[in-house]
Amino acid sequence: MTTPLRVLAVTGASRGIGRAIALRAASEGWAVMVGYRHDAAAADAVVTEIRAGGGEAWARGVDITSPEGSRGVLRRGQ
């Protein structure tokens, strides 16, 4: 039996409290969508740190200030 994948979307995860939440969640077995609005390089660094620790993560540029921007938060492609 396969354990279901737990996914957590963390907006603002490229720095500060969001980064801390993303790292903690990954250390507890969550797959993490590292959401960022402007700083792709910082988000990629968080993803790299999570993966180096054996976790699963990906970065996604998101703008949750609009309904259109919020809809695709968990889509992994594109």
For the segment 30-61, what is each residue's pLDDT rounded down to a tens digit?
999 999 999 999 999 999 999 999 999 999 99
Whole-angstrom distance, CA of residue 41 vs CA of residue 3:
31
Residue 24 in tokens: 């903690």
Q: Of residues 69 and 31, which shows the higher confidence score?
A: 31
Whole-angstrom distance, CA of residue 13 vs CA of residue 56:
14
The answer to whether the CB of 46 falls within 8 A of the CB of 20 is no
Q: Find the helix or strand (DSSP H, E) in which 52 lies.
A: helix 40-52
Q: By CB neighbour count within 10 A (0-12 exposed, 13-18 middle, 19+ buried), where does 65 fall?
A: exposed
pTM attached to this predicted model: 0.85
